[in-house]
Structure 1
Amino acid sequence: MLRKFIVFFMLVSLAFQSHAQLTKNALKKPNILFIMVDDLRPELACYGQSLIKSPNIDRLARMGQLFNRAYVNYPVCGPSRAILLSGLYGSSNRFNGWNCSQDTDVPGIVSLPMHFKNNHYTTGSLGKVYNNFNDGKGSWDEIWRPVITTTDWDYQAEESIDIFKKRNEDRQFNSNPRNNHNLPKRGPAFESPEIADEVYQDGKIATKAVEKLQQFRASGESFFLTVGFKKPHLPFNAPQKYWELYDETEIQLPGNFHPPHNAPKEALHEYSELRAYSNIPEKGPLSKSLSKKLIHGYYASVSYVDAQIGRVLDALENLGLDEETIVVLWGDHGWQLGEHGLWCKHSNFSTSLKIPLIFKVPGKSTDVKHEALVETVDIFPTLCELAGINPPFHLQGKSFASILESQSSEGKKALFGRSNLGGETIITKTHSYTEFYNKSGQVKANMLFDLTIDPNENQNIAADPENQKIILEMSKILEQHMAARGNIALP
Structure 2
Amino acid sequence: MNKSLITVLTTAVFLISRNNDIKKEKIVNEKRSMNILLIAVDDLRPELNFYRAHHIQSPNLDNLAAESLVFNSAYCNVPVCGASRASLMTGARPTRNRFLDAHTKKDDDFPEAISLPMLLKQNGYKTISNGKIYHYNKDDEKAWDEIWQALPVFNFAIPENQKIAKNTSRGLPFESADVHDSIYRDGKVTLKVMNDLRKLKKSNQPFFLTMGLSRPHLPFTAPKKYWDMYDRDAIKLPESYMQPETTPKQAFHNFGELRQYENIPNKGDLPDELAKELIHGYYACVSYIDAQIGLVLDELKRLDLEENTIVILWGDHGWNLGDHKLWCKHVTFETALRTPLLIKVPGKTNGKKTEAITEYIDIYPSLAELVGLKSPKTVEGKSFVPIINGEKSTKNWAVSKFKDAVTFIKDDIFYTEWTDAMGVAYARMLFDHKTDPLELDNLAEKPEYSELVESLSIELRQKWGKDFLK
Does the 8 Å contact 2:417/2:427 carry over to 1?
Answer: yes
TM-score by length of 1: 0.89
Does the CA-based 8 Å contact 1:373-1:411 persist in structure 2? no
- 8 A contact 2:244–2:441 mirrored in 1: yes
Q: Distance in 2 between matches of 1:143 and 1:69?
A: 32
Identity, % of aligned positions: 45
**Which of residues 426, 430, 434 is equivalent to 1:448?**
430
Matched, 1:417 2:400: yes
Q: Give runs of aligned pairs for residues 353-368 of structure 1, distance below 5 A.
A: 353-368=337-352
Counterpart residue number, 2:32? 28
**Aligned residue identity for 1:442:** V
Give the superposition deviation at 1:37: 0.1
Aligned to 1:3: none
Partner residue in 2 for 1:6: none
- What secondary structure sits across from 2:61 in the alignment? helix
Correspondence for 1:243: 227
The counterpart of 1:98, out of the listed 97, 102, 112, is 102
- The alignment partner of 2:464 has SS state of helix
Q: Could you say what secondary structure the match of 1:138 adopts?
A: helix
* Distance apart, 1:145 and its partner CA: 0.4
Alignment partner for residue 278 of structure 1, among 241, 251, 262? 262
Q: Give me the whole-angstrom Cα distance separating, in 2, the residues matched to 1:21 and 1:230.
A: 36
Q: Which residue of 2 aligns with 1:476?
A: 458
Residues 76-95 of structure 1, C-alpha deviations (whole Å, 9 max, x = no match):
00000000111110101111
Partners in 1 of 2:329 and 2:458 — Cα distance?
Answer: 27
Superposition deviation, residue 442 in structure 1 = 3.0
What whole-Å deviation, never above 9, does each CA across 1:396-436 have from its counterpart, x for those lacking one? Answer: 00001000111x5124221000013x100000112000001
Aligned to 1:172: none
C-alpha spacing 1:192/1:18, structure 2 compared with 1 (3 Å): closer
Counterpart of 1:53 (choices 54, 57, 60) is 57
Tell whether the 8 Å contact from 1:35 to 1:226 is kept in structure 2 after alignment: yes
- Tell me how far 1:61 sits from its aligned partner: 0.1
Quote the offset at 1:486 in angstroms: 4.2
Which residue does the alignment assign to 2:447?
A: 465
Q: After superposition, what is the alpha-carbon deviation per residue over 1:191-243, rounded to whole angstroms, capped at 9, x for unaligned?
A: 10111000000000000000000001112320001110000000000010000
Offset from partner CA, 1:125-162 (integer Å, 9 cap, x none): 00000002221121100100001254xxx111233123
8 Å CA contact 1:261–1:458 kept in 2: the answer is no
What's the counterpart of residue 71 of structure 1?
75
State the SS of the aligned residue for 2:411.
Answer: coil
Aligned to 1:352: 336
Match of 1:304 in 2: 288
What does 1:175-186 align with in structure 2 at a 5 Å threshold?
185-186=169-170
SS in structure 1 of the partner of residue 143 of structure 2: coil
1:158 corresponds to 2:141 = no
In the alignment, structure 2 segments of 5+ residues that lack a partner are: 1-19
Is 2:199 the partner of 1:198? no
Q: For residues 212 and 134 of structure 1, what CA distance do their matches in structure 2 show?
A: 20
Q: 1:321 offset after TM fit, Å?
A: 0.3
Match of 1:434 in 2: 416
Structure 1 Cα separation of the partners of residues 193 and 297 of structure 2 = 10
CA shift digits 1:417-476 (9 cap, x unpaired) = 0013x1000001120000012456431110000011112211111112221222112111
In structure 1, how many angstroms separate the alpha carbons of the residues matched to 2:137 and 2:65? 30
Q: C-alpha separation between the residues in 1 aligned to 2:22 and 2:423?
A: 65
- In structure 1, stretches of 5+ residues that fail to align are 1-15, 168-184
Aligned to 1:399: 383
CA 1:39–1:17 in structure 2 vs 1: closer, same or farther (change >3 Å)? closer
3-state SS in 2 of match to 1:94: coil
Q: Give CA-to-partner distance per residue, 1:321-376, whole Å, 9 cap, x none.
A: 00000000000000000011100000000100000000000110301111110010
